[in-house]
Amino acid sequence: MQVGRVLKKHNQRGGGSTSEPAWVRYLLVTVALIFLALFLLLPLAAVFAQALDKGWEAYLEALKEPDTLSAIRLTLTTAAVCVPLNLFFGIVASWAIAKFNFRGKSFLITLIDLPFSVSPVVSGLIYVLIFGLQGWLGPWLQDHDIKIIFAVPGIILATVFVTFPFVARELIPLMEAQGREEEEAALTLGASGLQTFFRVTFPNIKWGILYGVILCNARAMGEFGAVSVVSGHVRGSTNTIPLQVEILYNEYSYAAAFAVASLLALLALVTLAVKTAAEWKMQQTVTVSEKER
Amino acid sequence: MSIDIEAVSKTFGSFSALSDVSLKVPSGELVALLGPSGSGKTSLLRIIAGLETPDSGRILFDGVEATNRQVKDRQVGFVFQHYALFRHMTVFDNIAFGLTVKPKKERPGKQEIKDKVHSLLKLIQLEQLADRYPGQLSGGQRQRVALARALAVEPQVLLLDEPFGALDAKVRVELRRWLRRLHDEIHVTSVFVTHDQEEALEVADRIVVMNQGQIEQQGTPSEVYDRPATPFVYDFLGNVNLFKGRVHEGTAQMGGIKLSSPENASANDAPAVGYVRSHDIAIERDSSEGALKAEVRYLLSVGPLVRVDLSLPDGGPIEVDLPRDEADKLGLKVGDQVFARPRKMRVFVDDYQI
């Protein structure tokens, strides 16, 4: 406390020599704000304005359209499968990476990052190559009457691949920063592995998990490229929300397209809000742990 | 519970942390593992706890093999240098943790846990802080909570990894005396790791000095301090001065002083190094047999001892700690010519470089 106060005083005194003149600061802030407004807020506002162009009635009507409803259902199903899968994988992988030393650790980290570095279209094509009719497993799958490409399983597979890194990437640095002493302490006190996870590790990483899940979910619902390649665009059956938006737009039903798009925009806003809250909470836990050092 | 460590070795990559270490810790003793960083003392402690597995060798608890026993089944209490308190739990919940994770059949009732935690809080004198979080405590308070947490499960062995290393000097002294009193009360077999010789000498029943993954010497504090077995121990425990010379058939010749060195009876005109503690040198005004001529270079008179830096004619420095009254009697000044007489010297044949 004492030190903090002294430092603050010192900063105030030294403020004039260390920071830029006022007009430079205002200029920088203004430029940043204009940029944000132009490229982020304006389009967002445009989406909602266009969606509600023909009134609430038309807006709701567009959303009630059977093909759109089916797209919403498919998107929700996809997210409902992908997010728990990647949540499980993310926790397992980051636990292994942060708490144990083993050979090939850095290779595993690189592998987890792979979906970030590959274009989503390529991710989709990989599955077409493997499971498609001309692909490696295509003939066998057809013989056994299993449909993966141009069907729901393909969409889920491609989405899982694309959203693979989100939870793990969020947790690895967090868990590494927290070290493993608390877990070791729990073990010496007689806790089992599961008790250690749920009573010691989980409370320390829960905000990081929430953050990762939110990002993972947003991407799972919004993914276009990879899903577009494997879906086949069958109306009312293999179209997700983003694909439906594109189809509607290409058919010049602008109001309907923007109405559906507004759902994704809403999702983005919710994601942002939860993300900010989670980040704030996480910052708190990290500060506490730093103080403890 | 007694601990037997039999021929334990451990390597991390190409670094050999422990090589062929054997050690017995009798039941009820407080033993210090003392050594510089990288000497393997922490690795040995973690192997006893089961947090690391040895590459070879065995660990026995009460004569029963425990090398592959799970950490949670070893009944050890472990105290970490950085406390490792559960940051999202209150002091109360931290101390109660070990009791609440017990299997249903062995788990004490709620009231019993509450009573136990409160008696431990009383022991560590933090009763009024039961509802605080670790982040709201000072370092000394946190380490006491960590100790209470480890003691709550009534461990057979208490292991402490540099428990006072992260605390400031005054708290460190208070806490280590408190630990010593606590051990006198509860007599649990305890092993603690430290690099602070003063701490080891003050607290432990027995000291095990480690260096480069091996045990250099073990014994009571006075044995280790007064009769160091190796040059390393001499150097590590307390201030020491080095004299170079030669030793031949039990007689050493050290820079003008002749003394008998019976432990080197078999030496044949070998180069040797004599070790003398800084408080084992007397300073005299008059020349006499067995004293070396020297010049006073520097005086530091703070505290009960006066530190005198001398230099020999050949340039070699000597550090002497004199009691204050003795220094006052001599009335030393920088530049004075004096005679330094080693009262006690231990000679080692020179196969060891510092």
pLDDT at B169: 86
Return the residue in A189, A192, A290 with the most chain B beta carbons within 10 A, the one to mutate for interface testing. A189
For residue B57, give the nearest of B117, B116, B90, B9 by alpha carbon.
B9
Q: Cα(A185)–Cα(A198) distance, rounded to whole angstroms?
A: 14
B207: DSSP letter: E
- On whether the CB atoms of residues B308 and B335 are closer than 8 A, the answer is no
Residue B259: beta bridge partners?
B252
Residue range A45-49: mean pLDDT, rounded: 85
Sign of CA dihedral B126, B132, B137, B142: positive
Beta strands at B189-194 and B30-34: parallel, antiparallel or unpaired: parallel
Average pLDDT over residues A2-23: 54
Q: How many residues does chain A have?
A: 293
Q: Tell me, what's the pLDDT at B8?
A: 94
Flag if B86 and A192 touch (Cβ within 8 Å): no
Q: For position A7, what pLDDT does the model report?
A: 42
Assess contact for B21 and B7: CB atoms under 8 A. yes
Regions of chain B with pLDDT less than 70: 351-354
Q: pLDDT tens, A93-103?
A: 998 888 888 88
> A291: Cβ–Cβ under 8 A, 6 or more apart, which residues?
B135
Q: Is the pLDDT of residue A191 over 50?
A: yes
Asked whether this chain's domains B3-234 and B239-349 adopt the same fold, the reply is no
A101 touches chain B (CB under 8 A): no
Q: Is B135 exposed, middle or buried (0-12, 13-18, 19+ CB in 10 A)?
A: middle
Higher-pLDDT residue of A5 and A123 is: A123
For an interface test with A, which of B15, B45, B88, B145 has the most A Cβ atoms less than 10 Å from its Cβ?
Answer: B88
Q: Supply the pLDDT for residue A3.
A: 40
A283 interfaces chain B, CB cutoff of 8 Å? no
What are the residue ranges spanned by the domains of chain B?
Answer: 3-234, 239-349
Give the residue-averaged pLDDT of A24-46.
89
A190 touches chain B (CB under 8 A): yes
Q: Which CATH class is domain B239-349?
A: mainly beta
> In this structure, what token pair is assigned to residue A144?
């056994």
Confidence of residue A2 (pLDDT cuts 50, 70, 90): very low
> Which residues 6+ apart lie within 8 Å of B9 measured at CB?
B16, B18, B19, B20, B21, B54, B55, B56, B57
Complex confidence, ipTM: 0.82
pLDDT for residue A18: 67
Strand partners, B253: B246, B258
Q: How many whole angstroms separate alpha carbon B131 and alpha carbon B172?
A: 25
Q: What is the pLDDT of residue A14?
A: 45
Instruction: Between A287 and B262, name the one with better pLDDT.
Output: B262
pLDDT on residue B47: 94
Give residue-wise pLDDT tens across range A161-189. Answer: 999 899 998 899 888 888 889 999 999 99
Taking only the tens place, the pLDDT of each residue in A246-266 is 888 888 877 788 888 888 888
Average pLDDT over residues A133-156: 80
Q: Which pLDDT value is given to residue A17?
A: 63
Touching check for A103 and chain B: CB below 8 Å? no
Which of B50, B78, B135 shows the shortest C-beta gap to A291? B135
pLDDT at A13 over 60: no
Query: Per CATH, which fold does B3-234 belong to?
Result: Rossmann fold (3.40.50)
On whether the CB atoms of residues B214 and B230 are closer than 8 A, the answer is: no
Helices A165-178 and A66-99: angle between axes, nearest 10 degrees: 30
